[in-house]
Amino acid sequence: QVQVVQSGAEMKKPGASVKVSCKASGYTFANNHIHWVRQAPGQGLEWMGTINPRGGSTNYARNFQGRISMTGDTSSSTIYMELSSLRTEDTAMYYCARLHGSSGGGNLDSWGQGTLVTVSS
């Protein structure tokens, strides 16, 4: 069955960078875009961006442009999301999720377990 497994919790200082991994299995990795969504404590879901594993093209949310990068490794079916210049407001649970359907109309049908990123001095 489809599984999406993320790397473990991270604690970072303001100004640092964090890189979170997302390993997919149970389907053909290149066939589905991967999206990243974050959720600050007690808040709603915030879309961060997406990557097409086939070719590596990306589309980032305006709020994160300039300090976010998503990359993929097809040999290990793993996607990486790196967020730089961290601020305390970046403290959140970060999720990766598989897109079911096409960009522009699909939905996120398989979610990782989440990676808690804590930014504190």
Partner 1 sequence: SYDLTQPPSVSVSPGQTASISCSGDNLGHKYVGWYQQRPGQSPVLVIFQDTLRPSGVPDRFSGSNSGHTATLTISETQVTDEADYYCQAWDSSTVIFGGGTKLTVL
Q: Which residues bind to partner 1, rule: CB under 8 A?
A: 35, 37, 44-47, 50, 59, 61, 95, 97, 100-101, 103-109, 111-114
What gap in Å lies between CA 13 and CA 98, rounded to an integer? 30
63 near 44, Cβ under 8 Å? Answer: no
Select 61 or 84, whichever has its Cβ closest to partner 1: 61
Q: Please tell me the distance from the alpha carbon of residue 64 to that of residue 108, in angstroms, as a whole number.
A: 20
- For residues 8 and 105, which CB has a smaller minimum distance to partner 1 in the complex? 105
CB 115, min distance to partner 1, A: 11
Closest CB 84 distance from partner 1, rounded Å: 21
Closest approach of Cβ 109 to partner 1, in Å? 5
- Residues 94, 20 contacting (CB under 8 angstroms): yes
For residues 33 and 53, is the Cβ–Cβ distance under 8 A?
yes
